[in-house]
Amino acid sequence: MKILQINKLYFPWIGGVEKAVQDIAEGLREQEGITMTVLACQPKGKSTAELVHGVTVYRAGSWGMALGMPLSLSFFRLFRRLSRSADVLIVHYPFPLGMVGVRFFARTVPFFVYYHSDIVRQKALARLFAPFDRWVLRNARGILVSNPAIIQSSPLLQLFKEKCTVVPFGIDEREFVQDAAREKRITEIQKRYGKNFVLFVGRLIYYKGVEYLVEAAERLRNEPENFVLIGEGALQAQLQQRIAELHLEQKIALLPLQDRQTVIDYCFACGLLVLPSIYRSEAFGIVLMEAMAAGKPVISTDLGTGTSYINQHHITGFVVPPRDSAALAGALHEILRNPHLQKSFGIAARERVHNFFSRTAMVVHLMQIIQEKG
């Protein structure tokens, strides 16, 4: 069976949806008789094709990004060619070009939509592409979602809720083995930042709410723990300026994007991880699972999305209101000053990932759906 998977971008080291797309592609490729191909776009630049961990990845050339969407005509040429030889398509939403491609070039190919979130900020764009979205969702063999909250909170999905199936993202637990080499790297990290530092990993963009984490750090300036923020993005300079204004340069370390092994090392080395997102664009929060797989408690915000599905309040960590640096600081203080609570949250976090969010379980569930409905 030849499966073509379509997503806006494919740079899985960034994390988020791109990492989920990679895990799905590589997990399905490991199944007997499955050939996987991924079609995505370049943020800017010429078309490329390469083999990534056994998966053929095409990145259509684009002139750049506008309103969060690649400007690409090459995408449609590649979509038309690749879809002709595919037995099944999996298109990830939101990605307007992907929905247009399915509408015009994949009418005879069975397809599924993996629905991650509504289009939150670009309301005009959402209205423009709404006819394509509804046609694709209406004609899809199935709509896959990462958590049940999305079905209840999305006005668009409410129209097609009978077609929705929850397939939570999963992570490969083989990546979270603590061997001697990792222990050495963890020790080096903790020498720089302490043994109980607060970690954030993600893009520095509008919906991540990192500015509230910086304000929470300011409220805890007299506490001994440091903060390590790993990421890059449009708000990077603004955050650096804010850190300087608050004179927190010695308390907050702002690091560039790291490779996956290093991110996992930081998850093991930290005291806890915070995901302070403020918009529903944060539909799941894979980084929460990664920290939990390393046995760490997490703090997330209540957005009515998958973040509160992964992180269970008072079990694996705390869920606090978004845009509330005082509540965030209070949750941090409670965990950091209570080693017993920190340990119990961490144990429960690792168990939850093992029981509910493994890549193996995700792939098995996907294969069942494709074979039944494809």
Residue type, 200: F
pLDDT value for 117 = 86
Using one digit for the tens of pLDDT, what is the confidence trace for 236-288?
999 999 999 999 999 999 999 999 899 999 999 999 999 999 998 888 889 99
C-alpha dist (Å) from residue 158 to 152, 154, 163, 248: 7, 6, 10, 45
Residues contacting residue 179 through CB under 8 Å, at least 6 positions apart: none
pLDDT band of residue 132 (cuts 50, 70, 90) is: very high
At 84 the pLDDT is: 93
184/182 Cα distance (integer angstroms): 5
Q: What angle do CA 174, 178, 181 make, to 5 degrees?
A: 110
What's the token pair of residue 230?
């790993």
What phi, psi does 298 have (nearest 5°)? Answer: -135, 155
What is the pLDDT confidence band of residue 127, given thresholds at 50, 70 and 90? confident
Give the position of tokens 């509540």: 327
Residue 189 has pLDDT above 80, yes or no: yes
Q: 70: cis peptide before it, omega within 30°?
A: no
- pLDDT(5) > 60: yes
More confident of the two residues 313 and 18 = 313
Instruction: Compute the distance between CA of residue 59 and CA of residue 48 in angstroms, rounded to an integer.
Output: 5
Task: Write out the DSSP string of 126-191.
Answer: HHHHHHHHHHHHHH-SEEEESSHHHHHH-HHHHTTGGGEEE----B-GGGG---HHHHHHHHHHHH
**CA torsion angle for 39, 43, 47, 53 (degrees, to 10)?**
-50
pLDDT exceeds cutoff 90 at 220: yes
Q: How far apart are CA 355 and CA 83, in angstroms?
A: 35
Segment 11-32 shows an average pLDDT of: 83
Q: 228: burial class by Cβ within 10 Å (0-12, 13-18, 19+)? A: buried
Torsions phi, psi for 9 (to 5 deg): -130, 165
C-alpha distances in Å from residue 295, one per residue of 292, 348, 362: 5, 8, 21
How far apart, in whole angstroms, are the C-alpha atoms of residue 44 and residue 74? Answer: 12
Compare 122 and 133 and report the one with higher pLDDT.
133
Q: In the prediction, which pLDDT does 15 show?
A: 63
Q: Indicate if the pLDDT at residue 121 is higher than 80.
A: no
Q: What pLDDT sits at residue 281?
A: 84
Distance of alpha carbon 116 from the chain centroid: 9
**pLDDT value for 168:** 92
C-alpha 77/C-alpha 322 separation (Å) is 42
Average pLDDT value for residue range 2-9: 94
Q: So what's the pLDDT on residue 13?
A: 60
Confidence of residue 152 (pLDDT cuts 50, 70, 90): confident
- Mean predicted confidence (pLDDT) in 293-301: 97
Q: Give the N- to C-terminal CA distance of the chain in Å, as an integer.
A: 11
Position 34: which residue type?
I
Instruction: Check residue 208 and report its DSSP letter.
Output: G
Q: Judge contact between 293 and 353, C-beta under 8 A.
A: yes
Q: Flag whether pLDDT at 14 surpasses 60.
A: no
Q: Under a CB-based contact definition with an 8 Å cutoff, are residues 217 and 229 in contact? A: no
254: its two tokens:
């702002």
Among residues of the chain, what percentage have pLDDT more than 70? 98
Tokens 């920290």 belong to residue = 291
Interaxial angle between packed helices 325-336 and 210-219, expressed in degrees from 0 to 180 and rounded to the nearest 10: 60
Q: Of 10-24, 61-75, 111-125, 190-204, where does the model show the most confidence?
A: 190-204
Q: What 3-state class would DSSP assign to 255?
A: strand
* Domains of the chain, earliest start first: 2-170+358-373 (3.40.50.2000), 173-356 (3.40.50.2000)
- What is the pLDDT, as a whole number, of residue 299? 98
- Per-residue DSSP letter, 308: H
Query: For helices 16-29 and 359-373, what crossing angle results, to 10°?
Result: 70
Q: In what order do the strands lie in the sheet with 227-230?
A: 252-255, 227-230, 198-201, 272-275, 298-301, 317-320
192-217 per-position pLDDT tens digit: 999 999 999 999 999 999 999 999 99
pLDDT in tens, 329-368: 999 999 999 999 999 999 999 999 999 998 888 999 999 9
